[in-house]
Homo-oligomer: A and B are copies of this chain.
Amino acid sequence: MQNRLTIKDIARLSGVGKSTVSRVLNNESGVSARTRERVEAVMNQHGFAPSRSARAMRGQSDKVVAIIVTRLDSLSENLAVQTMLPVFYEQGYDPIMMESQFSPEKVAEHLGMLRRRNVDGVVLFGFTGVNETLLAPWQSTLVMLARDAAGFASVCYDDEGAIQMLMQRLYDQGHRHISFLGVPHSDVTTGKRRHEAYLAFCKTHRLTPVAALPGLAMKQGYDAVATVTGPDTTALVCATDTLALGASKYLQEQRLDALQLASVGSTPLMKFLHPEIITVDPGYGKAGQQAAQQLVAQINGRSDLQQIVIPATLA
């Protein structure tokens, strides 16, 4: 890049010493109001911006964080990332993005690179298989999203609450034969917790649970519908919007209009394509914002490792 100004230039231009400029730059006390004003004037006039790398070198911090999403095209994760970006920018952090593609190896690889690169912190969208020992070095500078792990800060969704809300709503509407489409228990949050919340509700309300846990993919939802719907089934709860999309396609093809779908996750796509599906918003946006704030606070040593749970809301 071109000849950028340095504090030395600003110092010369405003007739003071380098250190005074530095003090002004960092809002340090011990500079007379007049001097400060003058220096600031010169800075603005020339659009001066201090060199990041030079500051980083002295301060030991690059002001860089990483966001590791599972997939760039995850609708829910997108909503979370959308809200965290502004937070990071505002705080002067450069957020670099990476994709894990649900592969623990990729995470390991990425974290290795991030460590070598001396990054300040990481937001990691959790998934089944992330090895916690791998994360150990990041304990104080990592925020996990969508999952919790002992000893790590995290921002989770209210899995139980979300399912409960959907079930209650369906129950109130008179449904008594509600099936469930979910994810295997190896996935603790989206899989186990949501399924168990479903079972718990059934038990409490004396309903007969009928569930399948095929996985996260649309196709899996599509294929599994038949296995959980019988002649008297009136409603179907899906653990994720992706599953619901798959299920919905199946129902449409089979002309099973009568079956009421419900699902966790109300993304814009879902709401447009299938406004008839009852959805609950797990609070993706809020989660992203919270995660970013939590990470920044941790980096600055202004916060303990918190385990935050975002409340769900009926959409």
Contacts and interface: CB of A to CB of B under 8 A. Distances in A.
Contacts of A273: 245, 249
Given A4-B118, A75-B73, A96 B99 contact: no
Interface string A74-104: 0100110110010001000011111100000
Q: Which of A1, A47, A95 has the most CB of B within 10 A?
A: A1
A78 B79 CA distance: 14
A82 B99 contact: yes
A303 to B, nearest CB: 18
A219 interface: yes
A37 B3 CA distance: 38
Given A53-B62, A272-B219, A273-B245, A117 B94 contact: yes
A72 interface: yes
A208 interface: no
A38 to B, nearest CB: 21
Contacts of A49: 116-118
Q: How large is the interface on A (under 10, 10 to 19, 20 to 34, 35 or more residues)?
A: 35 or more
A188 interface: no
Interface in A100-121: 113, 116-118, 120
A82 B101 CA distance: 10
Contacts of A99: 82, 85
A73 B1 CA distance: 32
Contact of A52 (B1, B78, B118, B218): B118
Interface in A142-167: none
Contacts of A41: none
A300 interface: no
Given A62-B52, A273-B249, A98 B85 contact: yes
Interface in A261-293: 268, 272-273
A57 B62 contact: no
A186 interface: no
Contacts of A227: none
Query: Which 5 A-B pairs give the minimum distances between C-beta atoms?
Result: A53-B56, A49-B116, A73-B78, A53-B57, A53-B53
28 contacts: A1-B60, A1-B118, A4-B118, A49-B116, A49-B117, A49-B118, A51-B57, A51-B118, A52-B56, A52-B62, A53-B54, A53-B56, A53-B57, A53-B62, A64-B94, A72-B82, A73-B75, A73-B78, A73-B79, A73-B82, A73-B268, A85-B99, A95-B96, A96-B96, A96-B97, A97-B97, A246-B272, A249-B273
